[in-house]
Structure 1
Amino acid sequence: MKHFSELSPAAERVVDAAESLLQLQGYNGFSYDDVAQLIGIKKPSVHHHFATKADLAAMVVQRYTHRFREELLRIEGAHARARDRLAAYAELFDRTFARERRLCVCGMLGAEAHDLPQGVRDEVARFFDVNLRWLSDSFALGRREGGLGPRAEPEALARAYLCALEGAMVVGRGLADDQRPTAVGTAMLDLCWH
């Protein structure tokens, strides 16, 4: 599989369209016809860039993970304190959800994991691993700063926080309301911070 940085502008448009469709409809909810219609090309043109739907989805997730990593580095550069970093992390979910109640690409794909090709599952797992490691480090920083008790488990808090934010998006979509994931993130941080 190519690296996302090697994509031509035309292939990038295909990946953009697929990302949007994945966020709104999931892996099993879109086809190459949908991608072609969304960007105004013919279906064989989509196949020219990505031989299989699995290749296309894996590319979407690879690029999504890279962009998320860039955001995590930006957050670290902008915020020294753990709680501020974690609040800024929740804002990433707000930005996604604010666009037509879209879900995180990997949250959506995680729900479909049992139906995904192995290569896509591997990319999704890598996304979650990157996020959980970063969140664990952030909660560990919070413990060192004295914001969390000494018995606070950074890994458990990281998983709970990520689940809360992903879940806030799903519940928000299900309720058809506009409550931002940051509201859930703030409530969770209020519960564990002193």
Structure 2
Amino acid sequence: MVDTAAKLLSEARELIVQGGYNGFSYADLSARLGIRKASIHHHFPSKAGLVVAVVEQARSAIRAQIGLVQNENSIAWDQLLAYIGYWERCIKEQTAPFCLAAVLAAELPNLPEEVATSVRGHFVDLSTWLERVLSLGVSQGSIRLQDTPAIEAQTFIATVYGAMLAARAWDDPDRFTAIVDSFTNRIRVRRQ
């Protein structure tokens, strides 16, 4: 039973990344997994509940990854590179060519409120973490900011997610790296 729920979350995630909230149905999941729609409803009575579970699973994974790279002796620049490196690998290997929350954010005005709340939560989590990392980088002397850490964190998010979109639009994973490198070159303090 738990295995079925995990498979449903995994397949739903893949379908959302490919086509968004409205790009899949329980019939699609049923066909992909070879189970009845009633079984899906048993685990996730509503599509909104399923999508919230997918987003919350992704948020939990991101928080766990952040926990691995962040401690009191953390080097801010290394944290940023770890985050960027994660997406570079995902895009090049096509394991997660686009952020689930980014796909859903594009549909935000038409999402059920509980899904929208979860998606917004992802961006709050990410922005809060990046703000801390950028501030840490300034205090460590490895990062210089042209604006407040909050604005620069949002600029970083827009750059990374825009780079994902460009890589997808041009079917060129290297575009992601080129775009993100442009941002990181702007904020990195080079040692003489």
- Equivalent residue number for residue 68 of structure 1: 62
> SS state of the match for residue 173, structure 2?
coil
TM-score w.r.t. length of structure 2: 0.90
Distance 2:168 2:52 in 1: 25
Structure 2 counterparts to residues 177-192 of structure 1, below 5 A: 177-179=172-174, 181-192=176-187
In structure 2, runs of 5+ residues without a counterpart are: none
- Equivalent residue number for residue 164 of structure 2: 169
Counterpart among 13, 16, 20 of residue 22 in structure 1: 16
- Equivalent residue number for residue 43 of structure 1: 37
CA RMSD of aligned residues (A): 2.0
Residue 102 of structure 1 deviates from its aligned partner by 2.5
Counterpart AA for 1:141:
L
Structure 2 counterparts to residues 98-137 of structure 1, below 5 A: 98-99=93-94, 102-137=97-132
- Decide whether aligned partners of structure 1 residues 100 and 180 sit closer, same or farther in structure 2, where only a CA change above 3 A counts: farther
114-123 or 173-182: which moved more?
Answer: 173-182
- Equivalent residue number for residue 87 of structure 2: 93
150-159 or 111-120: which moved more?
Answer: 150-159
In structure 1, runs of 5+ residues without a counterpart are: 1-6
* TM-superposition CA deviations, 1:122-155 (whole Å, max 9, x none): 0001111111000000000011112334764211
> SS state of the match for residue 179, structure 1?
helix
Distance 1:121 1:150 in 2: 31
Distance 1:12 1:150 in 2: 41
Distance 1:25 1:101 in 2: 13
Q: Is structure 2 residue 50 aligned with structure 1 residue 83?
A: no
- Decide whether aligned partners of structure 1 residues 170 and 159 sit closer, same or farther in structure 2, where only a CA change above 3 A counts: same
Contact 2:88 2:173 in 1 (8 A): no
Distance 1:41 1:150 in 2: 52
Counterpart AA for 2:118:
E
- Decide whether aligned partners of structure 1 residues 31 and 111 sit closer, same or farther in structure 2, where only a CA change above 3 A counts: same
Residue 44 of structure 1 deviates from its aligned partner by 1.6
* TM-superposition CA deviations, 1:22-56 (whole Å, max 9, x none): 11111111111111122221222111111111010
- Equivalent residue number for residue 4 of structure 1: none
Distance 2:155 2:96 in 1: 22
- Equivalent residue number for residue 154 of structure 1: 149
- Decide whether aligned partners of structure 1 residues 8 and 93 sit closer, same or farther in structure 2, where only a CA change above 3 A counts: same
